[in-house]
Amino acid sequence: MSSTAQAVPRIKMKKKPNNEFGMSSKTHDVESEEEEEKDEQELSSSSEEDDSEIERELAEVTFEDLQKAKSNGSLSVYKKPDQEKKGGRANKNRPTEVSCKKPVTRFREVVQVPKKVVRDPRFESLCGNLDVEGYVSDKQLKFESAKQSDAAIVTEHKKKEREAAKQGKRPFYLKKSEVRKQRLIEKYNKLKASGKLESFIEKRRRKNAAKDHIYMPYRRSSNSEQQS
């Protein structure tokens, strides 16, 4: 039976491919898309809530307050602060570009001038040593002499006013300016008696002329030259 029977061919069954990996990748992609959609929805909802809160706050503000905020510049708080752009240059051989919107200071130094240094010869080491005690004593001596002369003027004026009050006249009290005037009159009288008044006045005149010379122009204007 076995020998006479025809050989039956064996049929190979094809195995089905394993789609578990493919299915897992597809499900992962779907989940990631769903998460992205959820994030977008949350962001949009949060932005909508912020906008609604701002609208509610602005609805409560009166028109008068809004006008005041615009005039004062406090309304710019709601705006985003502008980022200052730093000056740059397109090429290394070109100068830097500065914003033309910013005003230039009026008192700018176009050409740098060397700083002026004021020097007092009394406190310079090249002019000798400073005698502090002598300087203070000299100032004190001048102050004491002026004080004594003022006191003498006041006492003499009081004597005259007492005599005038006995005659029924009203008293007159000296001011500090009047005391200074009388002190200068006495000084000029002393100089006149010693014969030094003219030299003193000439010295004072030269001193005042030197002060006035600072404010005098060095050249006349072109209009005055043409007229002359």
pLDDT exceeds cutoff 60 at 176: yes
- What Å distances lie between residue 127 and 133, 135, 182, CA to CA? 17, 15, 38
Q: How far is CA 199 from the centre of its chain?
A: 51
- What Å distances lie between residue 203 and 182, 199, 207, 208, CA to CA? 21, 6, 6, 9
pLDDT score recorded for residue 140: 92
What distance, in Å, lies between the first and last C-alpha atoms of the chain?
A: 156
The one-letter code for the residue type at 175 is K
Cβ atoms of residues 186 and 149 within 8 Å: yes
pLDDT exceeds cutoff 50 at 19: no
CA distance 90 to 96: 8
Mean pLDDT of 15-28: 46
Mean pLDDT of 204-215: 86
Q: How do residues 93-118 score in pLDDT, each as one tens digit?
A: 888 777 778 777 777 767 777 888 88
Q: How do residues 145-174 score in pLDDT, each as one tens digit?
A: 889 988 999 999 988 888 888 888 888 888
pLDDT exceeds cutoff 50 at 77: no
pLDDT score recorded for residue 202: 93
pLDDT score recorded for residue 22: 44
Mean pLDDT of 33-62: 68
User: What is the band of 129 on the pLDDT scale with cuts at 50, 70, 90?
Assistant: confident
pLDDT score recorded for residue 84: 59
Mean pLDDT of 37-66: 69
Tell me the pLDDT of the chain averaged across its residues. Answer: 74
pLDDT exceeds cutoff 80 at 123: no
User: What is the band of 224 on the pLDDT scale with cuts at 50, 70, 90?
Assistant: low
Residues 6+ apart with CB under 8 A from 161: 171, 172
Cβ atoms of residues 75 and 67 within 8 Å: no
pLDDT exceeds cutoff 70 at 124: yes
Residues 6+ apart with CB under 8 A from 174: 153, 154, 157
Stronger pLDDT, 17 or 170, i.e. the higher one: 170
Of 27-31, 166-170, 186-190, the one with minimum mean pLDDT is 27-31
